[in-house]
Structure 1
Amino acid sequence: MTPKVFETVTPRPSAYLDRLAASDLGRFYKGRMLDALDVRPGQTVVDLGCGPGTDLDALAEAATSTGTVIGVDHDRAAVDAARERTAGRGTVAVHLGDLHGLPLADRTADRARTDRVLQHVADPALVLRETHRVLRPGGRLVMGEPDWDTLAIDHPDSDLSRSYTRYVTDEVVRNARIGRQLPRLAAEAGFQVPTVIPVTPVFRDVRAADEVLGLERTTRRALAAGYLTDEAARRWLAHLADGPFLAAVTFYIVVADS
């Protein structure tokens, strides 16, 4: 293992989300999502799984002082952080709640978004039905989710790359293939899906990739789960640290209209 290259301590969730948002990748895809959401002044916007409130300020700016932004998250610490972050914004409210049963009345929102949330929930289809319920006719949902089955990391031994990706899709992420499934799930929930935007970041710097992917931490877990042997894990990380590096994964931005 090579701790000089890889981040060995798991960052706090709020720190990880803020760090990703501040990266070139985060600014790019979040900008694309905000453009697709097309928030108008005076509208009510719901951030589903808002976390520590990373995106609430940008949504509030788009809705202006005449609009309302509602954040919903199931994690008490995240809700507290989001409330503290937006304490100076009277147009923002943050609720503790389950996305499978939103604490919102029918047809009360104009816009909604999810950002890398549906990959973790127990029932993405139910969350989409709930979102459709709270959106007004003519409303819009914009979702951004990775498809971890597309994760490709170059290595001279392609079997190691396949084993690593298989571990991520089988064991690490609950709904690992959600990116490709979103258009179908949204249509089944009653939405029209006019636009699907694929975004495929390519990482050439191992440190930048590690900040997003947690390469060593995930490798250790794959080793413990039997997807890699000790010798394979050593060879895998040694090449990632020292050899020319390339990794890519496809992220889907899906626009769904109610």
Structure 2
Amino acid sequence: MSGMIEFDDAAAKSVEAMYLTPDVVGQRARVLDMLSPKPGERIIDIGVGPGLLAQDLARLVGDTGRVVGLDAAAAMIKMARTRLAALPQAECVEGDACALKFPDAWFDAAVSTQVYEYVADMPAALSELHRVLRPGGRALVLDTDWRSIVWHSSDEARMGRVLACWDGHLADPHLPARLAPLFRRAGFTVARVEIVPMLSPHWQPVSYAAGIMRAIHGYARGNGARYGLSEVEVQAWYDDQLRLIERGEFFFSVNRYAFLATRQDAVGP
């Protein structure tokens, strides 16, 4: 997709900063609780990003386990390798979620957070996930449904246009609504689904909301024209948010959805 974000070194640093906010730190704790990694397990992190989750996983599986972080972006792999350098049980490789270069039934568990919404061919991606997991292996997938967003604005129509532009950088901005049947068709049983909210009821400079506001501003300035947005209109949207912050009227909330699934022995109908 021409509107996809290019994850270069600058983008990788922005993602890392967002993933270090209390909101996303809390999300990682929820993911770890749901996946429940055990000493000695082999786990793949599809879309390893800056390596923060992989670092936690490597510590939990211990010296007898193995964590493989996979990412399509070289800048993310570089950052994750640096973070994981002191953990010999962890490695990072560049690769494609739809073509996992690992043996059948190799992993005990898999995790993928904020990745599959960028993947156009989800049946292929989940087929590969099913293949590399052992029978009974666990998969934890977390993605955002951007229809769940509640973001206060003085101009709701303009806010809608900006968010429609942001949707354009994803293969599927509403993936969670389709994920359970996709899992079942790929041969998984969905065991548990939880909402993981990103909530800022007031302005917090170090928060997911602050980071995503900057990210959307930058993306819409560069890509708004294809959605009928001028740079002037994008800047007006951003300036409006700054005024709301000054008046103490900022509000942001969006839901992420975490699915825990297990691999069946055979792919179902």
Range class of TM-score, shorter chain: 0.7 to 0.9
Could you tell me which residue of structure 2 aligns to residue 153 of structure 1?
151
C-alpha deviations, 1:25-63, integer Å up to 9, x for none?
111111100111111111111111112322222001111
Provide the rounded CA distance (Å) in 1 between the counterparts of 2:233 and 2:10: 29
Relative to structure 1, the CA distance from residue 246 to residue 101 in structure 2 (aligned partners, 3 Å threshold; closer, same or farther) is same
Deviation at 1:101, TM superposition (A): 1.0
Deviation at 1:233, TM superposition (A): 3.9
Deviation at 1:219, TM superposition (A): 4.0
Deviation at 1:222, TM superposition (A): 6.0
Contact 2:165 2:220 in 1 (8 A): no
In the alignment, structure 2 segments of 5+ residues that lack a partner are 1-7, 264-269
Could you tell me which residue of structure 1 aligns to residue 238 of structure 2?
237
Deviation at 1:12, TM superposition (A): 1.8
C-alpha deviations, 1:191-220, integer Å up to 9, x for none?
100111112222221744231232422442
Deviation at 1:79, TM superposition (A): 2.4
> What SS does the aligned partner of 2:148 have?
strand
Contact 1:198 1:251 in 2 (8 A): yes
Provide the rounded CA distance (Å) in 2 between the counterparts of 1:205 and 1:117: 27
Letter in 1 for 2:221: R
Could you tell me which residue of structure 2 aligns to residue 186 of structure 1?
183
Instruction: Work out which of the residue numbers 68, 71, 74 in structure 2 matches 1:70.
Output: 68
Could you tell me which residue of structure 1 aligns to residue 57 of structure 2?
59
Relative to structure 1, the CA distance from residue 205 to residue 195 in structure 2 (aligned partners, 3 Å threshold; closer, same or farther) is same
Could you tell me which residue of structure 2 aligns to residue 82 of structure 1?
80
Contact 1:206 1:241 in 2 (8 A): no
Relative to structure 1, the CA distance from residue 229 to residue 19 in structure 2 (aligned partners, 3 Å threshold; closer, same or farther) is closer
Relative to structure 1, the CA distance from residue 143 to residue 231 in structure 2 (aligned partners, 3 Å threshold; closer, same or farther) is same
Say if 2:257 is the partner of 1:252: yes
Say if 2:195 is the partner of 1:198: yes
TM-score normalised by the chain length of structure 1: 0.87
Moved more, 65-74 or 151-160: 151-160
Deviation at 1:134, TM superposition (A): 0.7
Contact 1:73 1:98 in 2 (8 A): yes
Provide the rounded CA distance (Å) in 2 between the counterparts of 1:222 and 1:150: 23
Contact 1:206 1:245 in 2 (8 A): no
Matches within 5 A, 1:108-257: 108-169=106-167, 171-203=168-200, 204-205=202-203, 207=205, 208=207, 209-213=209-213, 214-221=215-222, 223-228=224-229, 232-243=233-244, 244-257=249-262
Contact 1:152 1:165 in 2 (8 A): no
Could you tell me which residue of structure 1 aligns to residue 267 of structure 2?
none
> What SS does the aligned partner of 1:100 have?
coil
C-alpha deviations, 1:124-168, integer Å up to 9, x for none?
221111011111111100011111222232123322222222222
Moved more, 246-255 or 210-219: 210-219
* Identity in percent: 26
Provide the rounded CA distance (Å) in 1 between the counterparts of 2:203 and 2:161: 21
Contact 1:37 1:141 in 2 (8 A): yes
Deviation at 1:248, TM superposition (A): 1.5
Letter in 1 for 2:225: A
Moved more, 43-52 or 26-35: 43-52
In the alignment, structure 1 segments of 5+ residues that lack a partner are 1-9
Letter in 1 for 2:150: A
